[in-house]
């Protein structure tokens, strides 16, 4: 599933293969992939024709191509891919949008099996941090790999929340880029159970957790991201290798790399959480808390 490292791999690929090129035709093959572009497919195609791609930028799991005073915002959702393919290459089964350039070079293809992802053309604005970002991304917090990310600020904000720590990690308005996989990995590395209440965590515990989140995503980025299947690939269609380094996520029944206890899976927020029951002690259930 594309989280920060996977999206950064795609952004890097677009910087290499799309920046500096001028868009020509845009073919929308599935309306759901542009559902956030309310003016529709024809409007998107018309407004993109002839536009020069000036830069490829990212915040958290959102990436965007800068087009003068606007941006083409791309979110990969759960299964989205951005592929650079020769015009003669056969269409992918789940090809949703085809972007053709005026140089007749490789096409940019948005491929998305589950259609949770999508693109939209959006105005650029300045957010609270003074950064120039698309309007639709302005509410997204800085991610741990952003040089302006301030650990003490996020630490305070996280401990002010009255919720469980994994829920807070997945809240993109608090800290962005972290999804289910890296949340579980950061919690395992920090020896924290995801159901611990944020208000019960010490400043040191939160600092450790955020630092581990940054480190695990940096490691994943160095290995090209995490891939379990063909659903995540870079712009050249190649998979990353970090899934071989996962300690918790997807490791149900496998021995913990620290203590040898068997990794457990439990349902949380309509998805799965993986943790070591010995290293990551669950908090005592309190009356009134569901789960």
Q: Which residues bind DNA (CB under 7 A)?
A: 1-3, 32, 60-62, 75, 77-78, 93-94, 113-116, 136, 161-164, 167, 170, 172, 179-181, 249, 265, 267, 269-272, 290
200-218 CB burial, b ≥16 within 10 A, e <16: ebeeebbbbbbebbbebbe
- Catalytic annotation present for 61: yes
Q: In angstroms, what is the minimal distance from the CB of 179 to DNA?
A: 3
CB atoms within 10 A of CB 39: 12
Which of 164, 247 has the CB closer to DNA? 164
Q: In angstroms, what is the minimal distance from the CB of 69 to DNA?
A: 21
Q: Which long-range contacts (CB under 8 A, 24 or more apart) does 261-264 make?
A: none
Catalytic residue among 132, 156, 203, 271: 271
The upper half-sphere exposure of residue 21, i.e. CA atoms within 13 Å in the direction of its Cβ, equals 22
199: nearest Cα among 158, 166, 237, 236: 158
Q: 54: which 2 tokens?
A: 């000036």
Catalytic residue among 51, 58, 61, 109: 61
Q: In angstroms, what is the minimal distance from the CB of 106 to DNA?
A: 24
Which of 101, 182 has the CB closer to DNA? 182
Which of 6, 101 has the CB closer to DNA? 6
Q: In angstroms, what is the minimal distance from the CB of 24 to DNA?
A: 28
Catalytic residue among 3, 8, 164, 185: 3
Which of 113, 129 has the CB closer to DNA? 113
- Catalytic annotation present for 271: yes
81: nearest Cα among 252, 205, 238: 238
Q: How far apart are CA 169 and CA 209, in angstroms?
A: 9
- SS3 annotation, 107-141: EEEEEECCCCCEEEEEEEEECCCCCEEEHHHCCCC
- Catalytically active residues, by annotation: 2-3, 61, 271
């Amino acid at each position: 599933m594309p989280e920060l490292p996977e999206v950064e791999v795609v952004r890097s690929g677009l910087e290499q293969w799309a920046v500096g090129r001028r868009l020509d035709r845009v073919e929308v093959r599935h309306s759901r992939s542009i559902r956030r572009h309310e003016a529709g497919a024809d409007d998107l195609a018309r407004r993109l024709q002839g536009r020069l791609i000036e830069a490829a930028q990212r915040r958290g799991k959102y990436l965007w191509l800068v087009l003068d005073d606007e941006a083409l915002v791309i979110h990969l959702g759960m299964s989205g891919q951005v592929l650079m393919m020769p015009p003669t290459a056969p269409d992918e089964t789940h090809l949703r949008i085809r972007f053709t350039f005026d140089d007749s070079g490789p096409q940019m293809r948005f491929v998305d099996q589950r259609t949770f992802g999508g693109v939209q053309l959006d105005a650029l604005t300045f957010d609270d941090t003074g950064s120039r970002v698309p309007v639709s991304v302005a509410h997204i917090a800085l991610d741990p790999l952003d040089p302006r990310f301030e650990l003490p600020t996020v630490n305070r904000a996280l401990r002010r929340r009255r919720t469980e720590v994994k829920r807070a990690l997945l809240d993109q308005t608090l800290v962005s880029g972290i999804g289910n996989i890296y949340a579980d990995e950061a919690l395992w590395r920090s020896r924290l159970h995801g159901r611990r209440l944020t208000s019960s965590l010490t400043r040191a515990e939160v600092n450790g957790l955020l630092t581990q989140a940054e480190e695990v995503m940096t490691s994943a980025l160095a290995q090209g991201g995490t891939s379990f299947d063909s659903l995540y690939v870079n712009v050249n269609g190649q998979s990353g290798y970090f899934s071989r380094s996962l300690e918790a996520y997807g490791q149900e029944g496998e021995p913990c790399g620290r203590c040898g206890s068997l990794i457990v899976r439990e349902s949380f927020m309509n998805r799965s959480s993986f943790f070591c029951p010995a290293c990551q002690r669950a908090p005592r259930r309190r009356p009134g808390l569901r789960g």
